[in-house]
Amino acid sequence: MPGSRCPRPALPILRWLPRYSRAWLPLDLLAGLAVGLTAVPQALAYAELAGLPLQYGLYSSFMGCFVYCFLGTAKDVTLGPTAIMSLLVSSYAFHQPVYAVLLAFLSGCIQLAMGLLHLGFLLDFISCPVIKGFTSAASITISFNQIKNILGLQGVPRQFFLQVYETLRRIGETRAGDAVLGLTCLAALAGLRAMKSHLPRAAPAEPLAVRISYLIVWISATARNALVVLFAGLVAYSFQVLGSQPFRLTGSIPQGLPALRPPPFSLAAPNGTVPFLSMVQDMGVGLAVVPLMGLLETVAIAKAFGVANVLGSFVSSFPITGSFGRTAVNAQSGVCTPAGGLVTGALVLLSLAYLTSLFYYIPKAALAAVIISAVVPMFDAGIFLTLWRVKRLDLVPLCVTFLLCFWEIQYGIVAGVLLSGILLLYSVARPPIKVSEGAVLLVQPGGSLHFPAVEHLRGAVCSRALAASPARSVVLDCCHISSIDYTVVLGLAELQQELRGHGLSLAFCGLKVCGTSASPPRARQGDGLSPADPPGLCAGLCPGGTIVTPSTFISQLGWLGALPWRDGSAQCSPNPGFSALRTLFSESSCLQTLKGSSIFPAGRRQVRLWAAVPGQDECGSGRHPWGSDLSSCRAAVWRLQGLVRG
């Protein structure tokens, strides 16, 4: 049909592949190569961090690249092992490849289910202070975990506090060769990173030599991990040829591609077989922490992450997620489509097939320097000062998460989420309530009302209304309230009864229906003003009645004067409510407000409003406050329909 839109392809690759341009191919190839040169050394380092044989880092680095090419929607994102995910695997896989692979499979199933069921909103309950506390603690934990490799120490525990104690106790056993090489690699990585961040872009009009120099420096800074590892490997190989080896080396890595097989659902142990359920129980809370941490920043592509982890488990991969560092390299390389991941994955496969024998000479100190360089930027020292200036209460979940993550990661995350939830619930239970005093007490809650806030609202209203001299009726301005629950309705009914017992009224204004203001009712004969109505501006409300009026009326006039009459008659009487109405209606600035006002229908009986006639005021003194504008006010009051609950 003309004007109809074509249905969007369900498979993301079909959205960009049919319009793929030849001009994009060189950029995708360059970006894929740059990411691959970063991914291979990081894969070896992250496997070491996870406590697994180094080949598992490479096994985890290619499947995500291929899957994301078909299912990815953001061209810059790259999937693979990361420092935080490796730290979590170290905690929940117990340094056993069988547990790590099964954890990848189960995490992928959970992520896939979250994507299909649209459960990403659950991640919204993990606040930014909790995430910052966790990542900052993880940065320190991971960095200190690699100090032992920088110093060449062996047999150091992996628990943080024991690790700190043991490292400081054995500082005298430091191997000079590893320490010098590790610090040199750290300095080189830091220098190349700074060089890239301050490198000015070469303009097309620059001479060819300038542009070539820029390209060389840019490639060197982008592939700094590969260059540093290559340099360290050459140094180690040179010492090996000379017959001495001052460094601790990575050692032999099995050559060849991983076998394609289902993930293991049991574990052979010396004293029997560990069944699937026992393995799941052993991983415990890790089955929730690992998939959720993998989706924190990329929940929009949860299905792609889930499929990548599920399929990755068939090639012995441990859990993967999006890498910020490699994604930044991908974006800076000018990648045009997710096809750049095909080049990265192919490079990892080539490394597994042909280069693993060369990885033998990579010093562990060099890999430790790569890890430390990757995780140091994750520590955000400025967040503490920022929260101190913005909202100091947010420092509580931040500090609790930060400190407890040094003990156990799951304790820090769970405690931070619980504290954030408590602070969130407290704001629900104690919403801000603004109280303005006048002829009546205007109470304006700052947000929706839910059952934990009922007693707080009742206490705030009663303490102010009954303590005033004389006691004042109450107007509840609902302009900021978008929802209430049944318990709140009961609480308001009890509040009305309590005020009624003291001869006071409870009025509502600014009510909403289904989240929006209800449409005004049409005026009918007898509903409001008519020329035959008795003189005087009176509201025939019984004591304790409830009148509902528009929020604009309350917000612009400041308070409501339609108070219950003592006798309910239509005759003028010395009631403060009449004087309030007279004062309000005599303000010329309020006349236009009255003309545009409307009352919200709620199925209750109407309240009659009468207007004064020329020549009479409230007590018949013969002076009319509006003068010639009586007809306009009469029409306005006609539209001012009130709803009363007697």
At 46 the pLDDT is 96
Of the pLDDT bands very low, low, confident and very high (cuts 50, 70, 90), residue 627 is: very low
Tokens of 594: 């009255």
Average pLDDT over residues 319-326: 91
On the question of pLDDT at 576 being above 60, the answer is no
- Cis peptide, bond prior to residue 262, ω within 30 of zero: no
Instruction: Express each pLDDT in 421-469 by its tens digit.
Output: 999 999 999 999 888 888 888 899 988 888 999 999 988 888 888 888 8
At 619 the pLDDT is 35
Instruction: Give the mean pLDDT of the chain.
Output: 79
Name the residue with higher pLDDT: 607 or 32: 32
Least confident of 51-55, 159-163, 391-395, 479-483: 479-483
On the question of pLDDT at 551 being above 60, the answer is no
At 634 the pLDDT is 35
On the question of pLDDT at 300 being above 70, the answer is no
Instruction: Express each pLDDT in 7-49 by its tens digit.
Output: 677 788 999 999 999 999 999 999 999 999 999 999 999 999 9
Least confident of 42-51, 127-136, 180-189, 475-484: 475-484
Name the residue with higher pLDDT: 644 or 279: 279
Of the pLDDT bands very low, low, confident and very high (cuts 50, 70, 90), residue 209 is: confident
Of the pLDDT bands very low, low, confident and very high (cuts 50, 70, 90), residue 109 is: very high
Of the pLDDT bands very low, low, confident and very high (cuts 50, 70, 90), residue 482 is: confident
Residues shown for the chain: 646
Instruction: Report the DSSP beta bridge partners of residue 477.
Output: 509
**DSSP code of residue 351:** I
Name the residue with higher pLDDT: 83 or 547: 83
Give the sign of the dihedral formed by CA 470, CA 476, CA 480, CA 486: positive
Question: Angle formed by the axes of helices 83-92 and 409-429, to 10°?
Answer: 110
Instruction: Express each pLDDT in 117-130 by its tens digit.
Output: 888 888 888 899 99
> What is the C-alpha to C-alpha distance for residues 358 and 395, in angstroms, rounded to an integer?
48
Name the residue with higher pLDDT: 547 or 34: 34
On the question of pLDDT at 479 being above 70, the answer is yes
On the question of pLDDT at 477 being above 70, the answer is yes
**In terms of Cα–Cα distance, which of 254, 190, 247 is closest to 363?**
247
For every residue of 575-588, DSSP letters joined together read: -HHHHHHHHHHT-G
Average pLDDT over residues 395-404: 95
At 164 the pLDDT is 93
Of the pLDDT bands very low, low, confident and very high (cuts 50, 70, 90), residue 398 is: very high
Q: What is the percentage of the chain residues whose pLDDT exceeds 70?
A: 77
At 269 the pLDDT is 84
Least confident of 198-212, 241-255, 464-478: 198-212
Q: Which residues contact 213 (CB under 8 A, 6 or more apart)?
A: 202
The one-letter amino acid at 397: P
Average pLDDT over residues 212-223: 88
At 513 the pLDDT is 57
At 574 the pLDDT is 34
At 333 the pLDDT is 87
On the question of pLDDT at 624 being above 80, the answer is no
The 10 Å Cβ neighbour count of residue 208 is: 7
> What is the C-alpha to C-alpha distance for residues 304 and 108, in angstroms, rounded to an integer?
9
The one-letter amino acid at 342: L
On the question of pLDDT at 348 being above 90, the answer is yes
On the question of pLDDT at 185 being above 60, the answer is yes
